[in-house]
Amino acid sequence: MRTACLVLAYAAPRVLAAAVEIYRGIGWDVFVHLDCKADTARYRAEMGKAADLVYFIDEPLSVFWGGFSMVLAEFKLIDAALRSAQYDFLLYVSDDTFPIRPPEALAAMPDPACERITMRRVLPGSGFAWRYEGLYHYDHPATNPRGGGPGRPIDDALVEAITEAQAVGRMGKKHLDIYWGFAYWMLTRPTIEAVLDICRGDPVLWHSFKYSSQPDEIMIHSVIANYLPDRKTMEGPVYMDFSKPNGPAVYHRLADLPADLPTHFYFARKFVPAAVLAPEGTQPA
């Protein structure tokens, strides 16, 4: 059984390089979507020799935190892998993610009878329901919550997006039970192919998530729950600690992680770009 590792990348080339050595060592192919806002030459240089071991996605997108562009980049990675080979499993992670289990445990992780994706039902009117029920457009500097300081003008692209969002609002969003989970997963090929077909075959569904908040944490999850209820699922494989305010905890080395992590976690994020994750002398220069 073959596995493709799909990586959403922006700012952690050294972490990714250390992880790639492990992924390739157990026979996993690695596909990387590097945000087009990043300096590609510098990123590859910081990856060192590991850059030659991965497939970089052509014509990458500009990815905005919390926007539908994150889903589009995710789908570009999926499409590239499905076109490349007959992979049985697809793993989706970020470039600040690193394996926390031995290589032999990673190699034994794929299970054709189970999808690894965290899914929590979001009750209507609850604290998370607004993400889907409202209309949001984060894929523009002027409207992104993390778009950065002044000087973010309205342009034609933003006006067109708002006009389309208004049309979605008048029509009404697709009636679904919404499920939330961390964006990162390992799915079987039949499931991910079915998800793509469902999403792309229903314009109302597509646009309902296009103008939602943080759709990468609800779209695939909700499609599986509503349209593929026979799929057996278990918790996602990537550990993140949101137990404290101001975002997830960050790590500088593997020893910073809790020692008693549940066994279903095989990876952790967010490692800082300069994290020490390889034996001395092997970290890319």
Q: What is the pLDDT of residues 243-270, one digit of tens each?
A: 877 778 999 999 999 989 999 999 999 9
Reported confidence tier of residue 72, pLDDT bands at 50, 70, 90: very high
pLDDT value at residue 285: 34
Instruction: Taking each helix axis as running N to C, give the angle between helix 156-171 and helix 203-210, from 0 to 180 degrees, rounded to the nearest 10.
Output: 120
Residue 147, domain member (yes or no): no
Q: Mean pLDDT, to the nearest integer, of 132-149?
A: 90
What span, in angstroms and rounded, lies between the C-alpha atoms of 57 and 10? 13
pTM: 0.94
Residue 144, domain member (yes or no): no
Decide if pLDDT at 283 tops 50: no
Q: Mean pLDDT, to the nearest integer, of 79-91?
A: 95
- Is residue 228 classed as helix, strand or coil in its secondary structure? coil
Domain that holds residue 204: 3-138+160-276
Residue 58, domain member (yes or no): yes
What span, in angstroms and rounded, lies between the C-alpha atoms of 136 and 148? 18
What span, in angstroms and rounded, lies between the C-alpha atoms of 55 and 9? 12
Decide if pLDDT at 18 tops 70: yes
The residue behind tokens 């509503």 is 226
What span, in angstroms and rounded, lies between the C-alpha atoms of 46 and 43? 5
CATH number at residue 13: 3.90.550
Letter for the amino acid at 31? F
pLDDT value at residue 282: 38
Residue 259, domain member (yes or no): yes
How many domains would you assign to the chain?
1
Residue 149, domain member (yes or no): no
Residue 51, domain member (yes or no): yes
Residue 281, domain member (yes or no): no
Residue 282, domain member (yes or no): no
